[in-house]
């Protein structure tokens, strides 16, 4: 066996979600046709992948947002894989970017990392930003988070 087209392009979770949704719609339309039958394991895989991707941030992304992010990140010396991970993970803290970008400290100054984060948060706003802002407000009212609670395990 010979591989003819080795990984033509990297695809984002958003693009995978769009392909799976289109395939799901096509499958639903042809379900009434008795001559078209999908193997059960393909249906299970598609269902589970759709379920997972719909629970991630890619479900709220749009092609325009991704394009705007790619344009915003074009000024930085990022690899295609790093841009892909930024799109899929939507980092909002420096530590998250340090995990995505290889040798981040050597390649970028702290200001550059902040600029990358600014581009990401402006191009790909996150739905969980409001939720975490509410949690931060509760923490300021004197409540301790789960990680900060003193627990006696004796």
Distance from CA of residue 86 to its chain's centroid?
A: 7
Please report the pLDDT score of residue 52 as a whole number.
93
116, 97 Cβ separation under 8 angstroms: yes
pLDDT higher for 21 or 4? 21
Alpha-carbon span 44 to 40, nearest angstrom: 6
Q: The whole model's pTM is what?
A: 0.70
- With vertex at residue 74, the alpha carbon angle to CA 6 and CA 108, rounded to the nearest 5 degrees, is 100
| Mean pLDDT, rounded, of the chain | 79
Please write the tens of the pLDDT for every residue from 44-68. 888 899 999 998 888 888 899 999 9
What are the domain boundaries of the chain?
A: 13-59, 62-128
**Rounded mean pLDDT, 119-145:** 61
Please write the tens of the pLDDT for every residue from 75-99. 998 999 999 999 999 998 999 999 9
Q: Which residue has the tokens 């193997």?
A: 39
pLDDT at 140 over 90: no
The CATH architecture one would assign to domain 62-128 is Up-down Bundle (1.20)
Total residues found in the chain within this entry: 154
Q: For residue 139, what pLDDT band results from cuts at 50, 70 and 90?
A: very low
Q: For residue 3, what pLDDT band results from cuts at 50, 70 and 90?
A: low
Q: Which residue has the tokens 């948060």?
A: 121
* DSSP secondary structure of 36-76: ----HHHHHHHHHHHHHHHTSGGGG--HHHHHHHHHHHTTS
Please write the tens of the pLDDT for every residue from 17-37. 999 998 888 877 776 556 666
């Amino acid at each position: 066996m010979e591989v003819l087209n080795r990984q033509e392009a990297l695809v984002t979770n958003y693009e995978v979600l769009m392909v799976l949704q289109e395939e799901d719609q096509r499958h639903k339309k042809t379900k009434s046709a008795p001559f078209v039958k999908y193997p059960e394991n393909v249906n299970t895989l598609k269902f589970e992948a759709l379920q997972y991707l719909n629970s991630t941030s890619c479900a709220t992304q749009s092609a325009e947002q991704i394009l705007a992010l790619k344009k915003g990140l074009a000024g930085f010396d990022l690899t295609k894989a790093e841009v892909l991970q930024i799109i899929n993970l939507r980092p909002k803290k420096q530590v998250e970017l340090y995990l995505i970008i290889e040798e981040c400290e050597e390649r970028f100054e702290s200001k550059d990392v902040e600029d990358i984060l600014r581009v990401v948060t402006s191009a790909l706003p996150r739905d969980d930003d409001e939720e975490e802002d509410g949690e931060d407000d509760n923490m300021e009212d004197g409540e301790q988070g789960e990680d900060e609670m003193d627990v006696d395990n004796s």
